[in-house]
Chain A
Amino acid sequence: MKPLELAEETLVVIESDADIVAARMRGRALASQMGFPPTLATLVATAISELARNILLYAGRGEVVLTPVERGGRRGLAVMARDEGPGIPDIARAMEDGYSTSGRLGLGLPGVRRLVDEFEITSHLGQGTTVTVKKWLG
């Protein structure tokens, strides 16, 4: 028998606005399962909602991958949002409050960064964008 996998991935394909809801529900369920209190699970769910919407808005299609992680005895939840969209021409600017090329609030990425403990973004023009965030428990 195979040993139990500690970190199992949950993948949610994002290609419609119903998938945004599905992704944040899966994220909240997973966070709760891992022992995140409701307040922190809500931060995670809200971050997932923003990241999933960015995928839909800017790339049209992509995926959100949820993975339980562990570091130095601490447990956490990693959320990776990746797409093969046009990429972000100016990441520094995209991280500024109030900046948006979509005409919406422009609070997406800087807002997400404030919801989580770790935030990483890589983007290549014409190849896509990957945002990985982590929220630690305790």
Chain B
Amino acid sequence: MFSGIMRNEWEGSLTKSYLGGVYMTLELFLQHLANGISLGSLYALVAIGYTMVYGILRLINFAHGDIFMMAVYFAFFGVMTFGMPWYVSFIIAIALTGVLGITVETLAYRPIREAPRISILISSIGASYLLENLAIVIYGGRPKTFPQIPLFTDMVQFGTVHIQMLTFMIPVVTAVLLMLLMYLINKTKSGMAMRAVSKDFETAKIMGIDVNRTISFTFGIGSLLAAVGGIMWGLKFPSILPLMGVMPGIKCFIAAVIGGIGNIQGAVIGGFILGIGEILLVAFLPELSGYRDAFSFILLILILLFRPTGIMGEKISEKV
């Protein structure tokens, strides 16, 4: 790749350059970057749910992506079927999703907490499968269009490119939620309980912490975050399907692994790496855009091979 700066008479812009066969202007690059940061924020929000649940239960919650999907549909029906104003619908959807997350934990994970790992993993997959099939039956398999709310979808113009308001709001919302989350975890009793349970399950129980409630709480928080992510996702990518949570779900799990599973900062870092990386891949190598999903998987394999504990992770050794 070489970059040359050409003076372009047509636009009078000196910032056009030629990278590896793809025309790129500064504005275009910034647009891609904005999209990447946006996507990264969404991935981060969902990845946090995976990482928190893994940290506390050593369990991959395969159903997390589907909970994300449910939030989108809840919000959709709130506005389109029940005619609620969007802010009411969104809040109710988020709350309902939190409840759904806790319900999944109670029904699918709590009964077999003592079972061998493989059974728990299968139950996790089963719960995910069930949610997906329920969604197909209840919502129908055809795509629906998520309500477009002008506040979010209005465009802002920067030079030659247009960017949605939403693209800027997503990282801001994410940042605010993250700060609230860090406060919750580090400065409140419930947060301390969460940290204790994820460090040492048995001891936390002995110390009088209500482990069941803490776990439910963790699932609830994770689901709430995923719900916010889902609604913002629906606003950004309005075509919604029952299986829309599958790919983002896997990718967000990968993000959590890349960042170091069990580590919240890691999940955020992983989310951004994946989001920005994916967008830039498509931007600079459009001939490979069919492989954009494979990008995450390849990153995953690389991390698992060379640094399995992730960017922020710690090594756990087994006592022999």
- Do these two chains interact? no
